[in-house]
Structures are given as structure tokens and as C-alpha cells.
Amino acid sequence: MDTKKTSLYQLHQHSKAKFVEFAGYQMPIQYAEGIVEEHRYTRNHSGIFDVSHMGQLFIYGQEDLVDDLERIFPLDLKNLKLNHSKYSFLMSDNAGIYDDLIITKIKDGFLIILNAACKENDYKILKELLNDKYKMILDEERSLIAIQGPKSVEILKSVIQGVENLNFMSGNWFTLDDHNIYVTRSGYTGEDGFEVSLTNEFAVRFTRRLIDKGAKLIGLGARDTLRLEAGLCLYGHELSKDKTPVEANLKWAISKERILKGNFIGSDIITKQLNHGVNKIRVGIKPEGRIIAREKTKIYSESNSEIGEITSGTFGPSVNGPVAMGYVENKFSKNDTKIFLEVRGKKHPATICGLPFYKKSYVKGVNK
Amino acid sequence: MSEVKYSKEHEWIKLEGEIATIGITKHATEMLGDIVFTELPEKGSNVEKDGTAGVVESTKAASDVYTPVSGEVVDLNQSIVDDPSKINQDPENSAWFFKLKIKDKSEMDTLMNKDEYDIFAKESSA
């Protein structure tokens, strides 16, 4: 199969991107300035991320759809307000994670943002679970552009007036040059920012305007260091079919109301794990010194027994040191527990720590 | 006069008397991206031609550093361990990795000169 290209492919080329194949797409891993500089620019100024490879699934329907989706997602969708978003998961019967996603209530139904590598499979699973009752469009005609970092609100509002009134995890439709644009205040970097859904034909012109206002294109490399510092999971690393949301330490994303009532896919296992605990759980890990522990690095206890594995590890430019996440046996998951990481045959000391490694506050109270 | 040669693993080596200074090429740093971690061989250890003699890690991945000739490690550049970004800034000069007292000068003959390496680097990145 040929690799696909997003609408911004040529713009990436002009911006001296190095490309990598990711989930069947040619995507920019970095541009001329490199990952560390791109990371810092996002934290201090404003970065533009082409996330058009991600799935934008529109499902149209009314109350029936809400009921049917509540049987799938562990969310209180009946009380989800128009244009508000929630983080959630598509799970198997035993609560394994097929995908993690953002679901937003829109006027005629829901918009679900899916991971690129999972979107086709998610579409099939959802179509089957919904018995083909609703109109579902995995929209390939729209691009998705994220703008992240402290200057993003100023930059985006100078292009689309009104976005500054959005709160974190809410969105709205806007019109720009006769194009319908859906903007949510969200992202995956730990910074204030927005995700902008717009037609492919308008994507380049729109992105150039953001660049003219001082935002810079940022590649997948910095996206990874940013999300890892923010303690956010990446599907295929922290999350997979073999992990449940409770094991992934994401129980905050499961509606308490819905747990009491059960009756969603995977609810039996989730309830059991919430009541009786899990064997392994996701934690933050801070290696001592500068040693970087990458994915699949084995984790040992102080008494030298193997207790888990790293799922993501890199150098965090804003932390100015190595950072990692992984799964360890529950009894070793408390903050400040001393552990050892086996890198190139040697064991290096590290500590279990709280997440995120790097924190800023999201914008919540602008529109009261 | 000192002689600079290059290896297929993208190391440079400068020989002065029987002491060789070894580092990684500018081309290597461009392929690696931002270097954020460096590990050097132990001082006093003996390294064999084409054997591993350190590690560099970028934000993306770890790569071994090889020694283009055999010898005894007599000096290390601690400054690139303390601040690995120096390697990106000045790879073929101040950001050298280690110095060897070399065992066999004829091993230098197996390496490329500057022109040969430039062509090799161009082809290997194409």
C-alpha cells in the first residue's frame, strides 16, 4: 500500500521536514531546527502540529445514539453539553483498549477523534456495535491542525475571532473565508492550545496564516517529548489491547455514575479492578543522572526482582533530563519508590514519580 | 603533521604521533539530531578496531559509537558527557570523544580520507 500524505505535505517539504512513515502516512518527524528547539518553541511560544492523519469520525443521531454510545463508552454522555469534549476509550469485552479518543457532542451527533493507526479498525468496531443504525463518516476531506503553547490563543484569535472564549475541552463552529471550521480548546502537549478541523483545500492557507503570525511547524518528534513530559499516554506504547484503563491509571476518565450502573462494554472487568486492584499499573519514572531508558527497558526492584517494563522514555527538554513511563507491579507503584532500569546490560537507579513531569494549567474560567 | 581519516560508521580520527583523537562527524550529528546523552569508554581500557566504544543518544534513539582503530583509551572528553549538545555544535573539533594510544598505525590505511568520506556520506544518506 502506498503511504498517504496529508494536505500539508508540500508545506512540510518547503519547511525542510524530515519525514517518517507513521500509521501509513508520510509525516514530519522534525524540521530544520530540530526536536529540542521545536519542543522549547512550543512551551515558550506557539507550535503548529499537523495531526490530519488522525481520524475524524462524525456519527449522526439523537437520543437513541446517546443510549447506544453509553453502552460502548464509560461516559455520562446524557449530561455531556453541546460542544463539550471528554477523553475516553474504545474497549474490548475484557476492557482491553482498542483506542483512546476524544468525543465531542456536536449539534447532530458526536465527533470522535481517533488515533491514525486505529481509526479504520475503530470504524469497523463501532459500525458493528451500533448495528449500522446511524450515519457514520470517517471524514478524509477534513484536515486537523493543532496549535499549542502559551502564545497560541493570541495567534489563533487574530485569525479566528472568538476562539479565546472557549474553555479547555470545549469547542464550537466558526466561519473563516466561507469555510466551516470546528475549533476545540484541547491538545496533547500539556500546553494551552486548540485543535482545528477544516477542509483539506483550506488547510495550507490557514496554516500559512498561523505561521505569518509567529507560530512554527513542529514535528512528531517534539510532539512525543511534549506529551511524555505532560504524562500523557500514547497508543501502542502505554495503551494497547492488553491494558485496561484502570491499569493505565486512567480511571479519572471513567464516569463514576456509569461505574455504579455498569452496563458498558468492559464494565465487569473495570468494576472488578477498581474494587480489587490491578497487578500492574502505569507510573512515571525519573532516571537518576542523564541515562535514557527507552521502551522495553526492564525494571527491577531494590531486591533485584523484575517488576515491570518501560513503555516510553526519552530526554525531556523542559525537564532538562530523562523522563519515562512504564508499568510496574502495584506494590512498587508508590511515589519515591527506588527502582533500577537495565540499560545496555547495566542497572541504573531511578525513582517512581508522580505525573506530569511538567505542568501548566489549562484555561478553564474564561467564559463564565 | 596530523592526519584526519574517516570511518564508514561516521567517526573521524586525527593522528598525532601515536595518539589518536576520535569523534563523530558533522554528517553523523545531522542524521542523529539533537544529542542528549553520551557514554564514553573507560579510561585505561583497551578497545578493538570496529568495536563499540561509547553511545550517543538523540531524543529519538540510541546509537553505538565505534572505534575506527585499536588502542588504549588515554583520555576522555568529560565536557560532552556533561553537556551533550556540544556535539551538535562543534562535532569535528572541541567535541571529540576520546583519545587512544594506538596499537597499529597500519589500521589508519583502511580508513577514508576527507574526499572519499564526503562522497560516502552523500551516498549513504541518499
Q: Tens digits of per-residue pLDDT, B62-91?
A: 999 999 999 999 999 999 999 999 999 999
| Domain endpoint, select from A218, A240, A262 | A240
Q: What is the pLDDT of residues A328-368, one digit of tens each?
A: 999 999 999 999 999 999 999 999 999 999 987 677 766 54
Put simply, the answer to whether A291 touches B37 (Cβ < 8 Å) is yes
* Domain CATH number, residue A58: 3.30.1360.120
Residue B88, min C-alpha distance to chain A (Å): 11
Query: H-helix or E-strand containing A275?
Result: helix A267-276
Q: A214 to chain B, minimum CA–CA distance in Å? A: 23
What CATH number does residue A302 fall under?
Answer: 2.40.30.110
* Cβ pair B19, B99 in contact under 8 A: yes
Query: How confident is the model at residue B59, as a pLDDT?
Result: 87
State whether A320 and A194 are in the same domain: no
Is residue A224 located within the same domain as residue A341? no
Of A192, A225, A240, the position where a domain reaches its end is A240
Which pLDDT band holds residue B125 (cuts at 50, 70, 90)? confident
Do A225 and A284 fall into the same domain? Answer: no
Task: For an interface test with A, give the residue of B26, B31, B34 to mutate (most A CBs within 10 A).
Answer: B34
pLDDT at A291: 94
Q: What is the DSSP track for A175-234?
A: EETTEEEEEES--SSSSSEEEEEEEHHHHHHHHHHHHHTT-EE--HHHHHHHHHHTT---
B1 pLDDT exceeds 60? no
Q: Judge: B59–A29 Cβ closer than 8 Å, yes or no.
A: no
At B40-57, the pLDDT tens digits run: 999 999 999 999 999 999
Mean pLDDT computed over every residue of chain B: 94
Nearest CA in chain B to A221: B60
Q: Could you say which of B37, B59, B81 has the minimum Cβ distance to residue A225?
A: B59
> How far apart (Å, rounded) are the C-alpha atoms in residues B126 and B115?
17
Is residue A283 domain-shared with residue A236, that is, in the same domain?
no
Residues spanned by the domain of B40? 3-104+112-125
Cell reading at A279:
497487578
What is the mean pLDDT of the segment spanning B15-20? 95
A259 located within any domain: no
Whole-number Å distance between alpha carbons of A40 and A29: 16
The reply to whether ipTM tops 0.90 is no
Residue A27 within a domain:
yes
Find the domain containing A314 and state its range. Answer: 279-353
Domain containing residue B69: CATH number = 2.40.50.100
Residues of chain A with pLDDT under 70: 1, 361, 365-368
Measured distance CA(A182)–CA(A81) in Å, rounded: 16
Same domain for A171 and A310: no
Asked if A94 and A24 sit in the same domain, the reply is yes
Of the candidates A44, A16, A38, the residue with the CA atom closest to the CA atom of residue A218: A38
Q: What is the pLDDT of residue A2?
A: 81
At A197 the pLDDT is: 98
Same domain, yes or no: A8 and A151? yes
> Is A360 contained in some domain?
no
- Report the number of distinct structural domains present in chain A: 2
Total domains present in chain B: 1
Query: Does A261 map to a domain?
Result: no
Residues A182 and A300 in one domain: no
pLDDT of residue B124: 82
Q: In angstroms, what separates the C-alpha of A290 from chain B's closest C-alpha?
A: 6
